[in-house]
Structure 1
Amino acid sequence: MTAPMMAGTPGPVEPGATLRADVLGTVSWRTPITLAVISIAALFAFVLFTPSTALAQFAFTEPDASWQWPVWHAPARLVLILCAVGTFALTAAAFIAAAARKPRRWYLVVFGALVLVMFLVWVMSASTGTLRLPFLLGLTMTWAVPLVFGAFAGVLCERAGVINIAIEGQLLGGAFLCAIAASITGSPYIGLVAAPIAGALVGLILAVFSITYKVDQIIVGVVVNVLVLGLTNYLFSTVLSENPQEFNSPPPLPTWRIPVLADIPVLGDALFNQTVIVYAMYVAVFVLQYMLFRSRWGLRLRSVGEHPKAADTVGIKVNRTRYRAVVLGSAVAGFGGASFLAAGLAFTKEVSVGRGYIALAAMILGRWSPRGALAAAVLFGFTDALNRVLRNIGSPVDYELMSMLPYLATIFAVAGLVGRVRPPAADGKPYP
């Protein structure tokens, strides 16, 4: 006969309940709580203090376009209320998904888009100007291109286990040699060929000290950046400035307009009326994504970054693979440095203005994948472009505050808003 159960004694456990809890894991409320806080903050910041009669003006075509869409005078208060309802609905859906242990990443994408629309409508409702979306998107691509190539360089290097802090120096070196080669030959395409050579040379210095001599990779990267900065500044002051017509007058890259695609409203001119560097970026993201995650070469490279000892056991030359990845990634960054001069601008001191470090942040936010790095770099480029556009048409938001947004987004990402961000296991660890 079974003894009676004492008061306070746990009841019978359903068979398999412990196993299901172990498999499913604990419920994480971090993302839905964050969305709730942002929704409430957006409600108070944007909706409650916007006059009911305020209008926000948006243009969807450029003034010189062959056909024109009328400027949209958006009723700001109504649009903000609708977007706020959408953010709260997505927050509720995120809570439900978290309770069911089935997170939906697309919630974050739609939520971010709604918050962005709210911000734009709020800003333009306080401005007398018109926000031309095609111009904003075109400027976004201009600012995003060096970030994208720099982030690709970081992905290639760190997937092989080498931390690439020297992206800034690789971008700067590529821009410098591109300016000289294009100026001397009079051909911008010769400059495009020279730029990745400069990036590869900078990467070779990084590889020798970090792989062969096993110097701390972060320290080497910082030193390489300082070395390239000092060298280019010295040569700029002594060579380029004394004879700018011969050494620092690169011709602009021509734009290639793709028929039909360039006529797509809003997006067409920004995406398909660009230079060869932008089109190379489109190709690079697909090639790198496939090569890293769908090819034997990519499997070998990633194995070196995750478990080099196991890779060595099956016959993969770890350090040789790392050398190749660092030099190739650095060449990619050098090619991106040529984009600073694509419009025919002359090389100047510190033309990269710290964009190598932002590219490094884009790589982290993009989870060490080419597609993610592209999305993060475009986000950072959009923030920079929006900051400059709003400053010209008058904005209630300070310029310094807008400049902080990319870094705040990275902090949220690393803190776990978009899930756990984990680098390759052997990243930064020399071998053997």
Structure 2
Amino acid sequence: MDRDDTSRWDRLAGTDGTALLDRLAGADRSGDAALRLGTALRREYDAGLVADAMTLTELRDRASAKFTLAGRMWFTRDGLEQASSEVLARHRAARFAGRDRVADLCCGIGGDLVALAVAGHEVTGVDLDPTHLWMAGRNATAHGAAVRTVRADVRDADLSGVDGVFVDPARRSAGGRMRTGDSEPPLGWCLDLAGRTGAAGIKAAPGIDHGTVPPEWELEFLALGRELKESALWSPALAGARTRATVFDPAGTHTIAGDPDPADGDTGVAVGPPGAWLLDPNPAVTRAGLVSQLARRTATTRIDPRIAFLTTDDEPAPTPFARVLRVLDSRPWDQKRLPRLLRELDVGAVDVRRRGLAGDVEALARTLRGRGSRHATVVMTRVDDRPWGLVCVAP
């Protein structure tokens, strides 16, 4: 990817390429129509130009789930896959408020670079990949922003005068995805950036080990709806809590922060058997270790000190931090009796949610599927360290 082939992208950005992209954007590209279209266009344009244009148009379609202006932006397949959604990047950019000059290291196609520039920072993007740097500059222009890009190994980047830095270290190599916790540059090098610039943010995988994050840093987990996307580490100058869970949904951005639950399970939150309602915390909340914080916020109790389910007998108010379920049945786990119980409850379609018990969730869901009219969630878990099962429905 670091081969300098920006000339082909210059060509695609030229007069013929722009006209070709405009035609593709409004054309039927589904099924056989795409083959017929490609054949017709190759009679008018160079085959390589057509191939690049069709690939970019496909990527722009896919990118619309991440970026508002995807139809004007530039992507490679790897660059799009590695880029954060616009809503996450803009949230991160807000953490650099008050920082004038910010460097975006390993900037890729410029998702975070653009967000920082739109937020008003003077931004420099550094990357070794000339194609991605070319695209980062174009993507900034598409958003009406100006950025500076530098092709270099980020270890050699000139950070003089910079008062904030964001880094997205690579977690893939030529051999595939690296082990959880590994990156290039390594996490230790990224953490040292705070001492060089005063303020640093680091993008990381959602599976990061809490123990690898220095105690004075903040570890934030970010989810789009109930899908946990990534984590971010914030240096002391930008930190606000030890851990934070941030959830983005159509209603906006929601955050809960504090100290994570202690490993010994002594959370100070009451523990009791499942009641009439079950709260299934968002994965960002569970990874941040803030289940007990959520319990206090929602006036609920835990069903077990080490299990991330909350319960109450009173219908809870909706919360962006958990899925609320009504409990139809609660009893010690009995997989043999479960199919008959579901028939009695008129359950057909089944989802299985598992915490604290081993089992093949997908295989169990297939065996439990019936002909009833209700869609239920079967919960496999533990209560007072005993295997337990619940049948729940959405309210």
Bin the TM-score by the shorter chain: under 0.3
Name the structure where helix makes up a greater proportion of residues: 1
Name the structure where strand makes up a greater proportion of residues: 2
> Normalising by structure 1, what TM-score?
0.19
> Normalising by structure 2, what TM-score?
0.20
Higher relative contact order (CA 8 A, sep 6+): 1
